[in-house]
Amino acid sequence: MNTHPSFSSGGIELYPLWLRIWHWCNALSFLMLILTGVSLHFAGAAIPLIPFNTARILHNIFGIFMTLAYLVYALATVLGRNGIHYRPQWRGLLGRLLCQAKFYGVGIFRDEPHPFPSTARCKFNPLQQITYLGVMFAGVPLLIVSGLMFFWPELAPAQFLGMDGLWVVAVSHYLFGLLLTAFMLGHLYLATAGETLSGEFRKMIFGARVEEEKQ
Amino acid sequence: MLLLTGYARAEDRACLRCHGMKSMAIQDPVTGGIRSLAIDAAAMAASSHAKLNCLRCHGPGFEVYPHFEEAKREALHCLECHKGNDKFPYALFESIEKGFDRSIHAQALPDRFSCASCHDPHLFHGLSRTPVADVPAQVHQDNQICLNCHRNNERIKELTGRILPTLKNTHAWLPDVERHWQAVRCVECHTGSRRPLDHFILGKSFALRDCVSCHSRNSVLLGKLYLYQNAENRQKAGFVNALVMNNAYIIGMTRNVWLDWAGFALLALTAFTLLGHGLARWLMARKRGH
């Protein structure tokens, strides 16, 4: 295994400090947005929720916070080194995806080694890579854009396929929120499925260095 | 001129010769303000009273000019014609009158406020059976009634001798005020009931301030603004689809039960799968003796 705690200074940091800070900001915003979003959506329900106006203000604040954090993340990822992890090697991808899926379905129960351990070239396994690519560069931006549209409802299309434009925006926002919440559950669970139970969490707190690959 | 009177019947042309002019106005001897006496014949032709001639409502004292002073003093009231018959049962005149008599306006200004303060009898036309697509138009028309005075302190001053604080300030607690006034009517918050056409406008301390009374499944709007629209949609598309096809999104109210259940099912299934996987991992690890 070529990952080891980051206290040593050699090699390449897979989770640089900015990324770890962004990650926990994003996680906090996301949790708050789920909580306040549910309160807004189910306003007036019998179950106790955050009061409507408080929920609205918090949802706005954390929505803006997450948007700014996302911009930092996206810029740093596209321009910086973090981006290389998001470039899939398309050839033979399907086979590698199946291989990883098989590991989660079978190998993991038999304590088999991870088929695609983190490397300096790619810290993600193929399944992670494709999912994160979709989530971070399609799901989250769409969630953000549909959310921002509520600040400027006049920018929403007046009509969309014969339906009220804002209605479509609102329902999309709801659906993207829902899908990303489902993703978050999976994300949280799979974080326990690294080399050790808490290893992935520790990486995201303390960072993880790997040796540079010899070309 | 000819074009304007083209809408009018022969009997009305005599009046519209003068009152059809857009600039027709006098200086009010009491307040000193300019009072328009122009009647828009085209708009009147589209109103509820399109079929009535001027003289059905205005007494014979107007047939000559200068008009008789007694004729001008005659007060006209909608209910003089609309009480005691049920020609227009949906217009609910009797309950409207009861509500109006108790309303804050009638109480505060008993002789200076009448139906005509809000409804220009020459323009008034019923809209409460608006099709879904026209909700914004109805909101606009109904709010314009209130805004004619409440955005025009001149008129308030004429009536009361004082001015009121601007609506922007008194509604600063409501986010996105302009947006709300395009989507929701003043009477939604300023009348206390869920009855349609409620005219009992309450004092400000009784006005609706609770967001959730609109932003929830059991929204007051369903009984008022969206009453007819809902009925119409339900007939066309069935109850379930009514809200899917609703034309506006109102946070907390426009909720589709099936979508909510599908979302719940997705999250429950995800959680269930993950828990099962976790449990299996734990059991297998125990079996291996870790």
Question: Which candidate from B175, B217, B245 shows the least CB-CB separation from A56?
Answer: B175
CA nearest B39: which of B51, B24, B28, B60? B24
Closest residue in A to B275 (Cα) is: A189
pLDDT at B277: 95
Q: Which residues of B touch A165 (CB under 8 A)?
A: none
CATH number at residue A42: 1.20.950.20
Q: What are phi and psi of B260, to 5 degrees?
A: -65, -40
Report ipTM for this prediction. 0.84
Best of A154, A166, A176 to disrupt the B interface by mutation (most B CBs within 10 Å)?
A166
Domain membership of residue A109 as a residue range: 5-210
For residue B288, the chain A residues in CB contact (below 8 A) are 111
In a domain, A215, yes or no: no
Picking from B134, B177, B226, B249 by the largest number of A CB atoms within 10 A of its own CB, the best residue to mutate is B249
What number of other Cβ atoms are within 10 A of residue B52's Cβ?
16
pLDDT tens digit string along B36-65? 889 988 888 888 888 888 888 888 888 888
Q: Is residue A100 part of a domain?
A: yes
| Closest Cβ opposite residue A44 in set B212, B270, B280 | B212
In chain A, the residue whose alpha carbon lies closest to the alpha carbon of B133 is A164
Question: Does residue B274 belong to the interface with chain A, where contact is any CB pair within 8 Å?
Answer: yes
**Residue range B265-290: mean pLDDT, rounded:** 92
Q: What total number of domains does chain A contain?
A: 1
A164: in domain = yes
* Beta-carbon count within 10 A of A29 CB: 20
Q: What is the residue-level pLDDT of chain A in tens, covering all 215 positions?
A: 444 444 445 678 888 999 999 999 999 999 999 999 999 999 888 888 899 999 999 999 999 999 999 999 999 999 988 888 888 888 889 999 999 999 999 998 988 888 888 887 788 888 899 999 999 999 999 999 999 988 887 777 766 666 667 788 888 999 999 999 999 999 999 999 888 888 888 889 888 888 776 54
> For position B5, what pLDDT does the model report?
44
Q: What tokens were used for A170?
A: 């609102």
Whether residue A109 lies inside any domain: the answer is yes
DSSP symbols for A4-43: EETTS--SEESS-HHHHHHHHHHHHHHHHHHHHHHHHHTT
Residue A16, preceding peptide bond in cis (omega within 30° of 0): no
The structure's pTM equals 0.84
pLDDT of B247: 56
Q: How confident is the model at residue B146 (pLDDT cuts 50, 70, 90)?
A: very high
Question: What mean pLDDT comes out for the span B264-276?
Answer: 96
Question: Does position B139 have pLDDT exceeding 80, yes or no?
Answer: yes
Residue ranges in A112-194 assigned as alpha helix (H):
126-134, 140-148, 165-190
